[in-house]
Chain A
């Protein structure tokens, strides 16, 4: 158990819908990262938050947004969903830059 909790584990939704994925980092970790894993793109960095502030953006679509709350949990919002958004979405947390990043079990999103 990495200590990073993601909910839900599975999500099936229709095209055009909006979903929210939730992540609770390990106790004491201020950094939260979101990654997407798909068969064709592999593991791609989406966005990083540190203590509530956005620090870095990767290949994140404009239809996607995220935030980190004062209690350090984070949410990834995916809207106007398309079939191609079907993927595993991972959250990771880290004590600070340069330290190990620990991943949650992921949310498997299926868009039908």
Chain B
């Protein structure tokens, strides 16, 4: 079963626009991690936000976490064609660090 649910399932935007995707989860967590996957390739770690943090930034990425609503969002600002990928949230609920992944958001950025 999947802990996280991403929304939307797919997103199509133009270069320069912002992309926002959301993740909801069901149980208490230690941290939540976002990953990027280019078509059929490896998962690239983007950012980790701990349960006691509300917002985190990394370059053009901004992640928020609302533990009361059990949700997180990932914002990519000024998107580029190279940001075209699937984005996954993964929750660490404290069971030896194993991650539960959502189904992902497929983002397409057109030039």
**Tally of A-B Cβ pairs under 8 angstroms:** 71
Q: Report whether A90 and B42 are in contact in the complex, using a CB–CB cutoff of 8 Å.
A: yes
Interface residue tally for chain B (C-beta within 8 Å): 27
A21 → chain B, closest Cβ, in Å? Answer: 14
Asked if B40 is an interface residue, CB under 8 A from chain A, the answer is: yes
Q: Is A55 a contact of B96 with CB atoms below 8 Å?
A: yes
Are the C-beta atoms of A103 and B98 separated by less than 8 Å?
Answer: no
**Inter-subunit contact B42/A2 (CB<8 Å):** yes
In the complex, the answer to whether B97 meets A103 with C-beta atoms within 8 Å is no
**A108 cross-chain contacts in B, Cβ below 8 A:** 40
Is A31 in contact with B97, judged by CB distance below 8 angstroms?
A: yes
CB of A112 closer than 8 Å to a CB of B: no
The residue in chain A whose Cβ has the minimal distance to the Cβ of B47 is A100
Which secondary structure characterizes the binding site on chain A? strand
Flag whether B43 is at the interface (Cβ < 8 A). Answer: yes
- Chain A residues, Cβ within 8 Å of B27: none
> B97 near A97 (CB under 8 angstroms)?
yes
- CB 8 Å contact bits of B2-45 with A (1 = contact, 0 = none): 10000000000000000000000000001101010000111111
B45 engages A100 (CB within 8 Å)? yes
- Report the stretch among B63-71, B76-84, B100-108 that lies at the interface: B100-108
Chain A contacts for B33, CB-based, 8 A: 100-101
Residue contact B40 to A88, C-beta cutoff 8 Å: yes
A-chain residues with CB within 8 Å of residue B75 when the two chains form the complex: none
Chain A proximity of B22: nearest CB distance (Å):
17
Contact (A56, B42) CB under 8 Å given A42-B103, A103-B35? no
List 14 interface pairs A-B (beta carbons < 8 Å), by A numbering: A31-B96, A42-B102, A42-B104, A43-B101, A44-B101, A48-B98, A90-B43, A92-B43, A97-B30, A98-B92, A99-B97, A100-B33, A100-B45, A103-B44
Q: A45-B99, A97-B94 are in contact. List 7 more A-B contacts (CB 8 A).
A: A33-B99, A42-B103, A44-B101, A92-B99, A101-B97, A103-B43, A105-B41
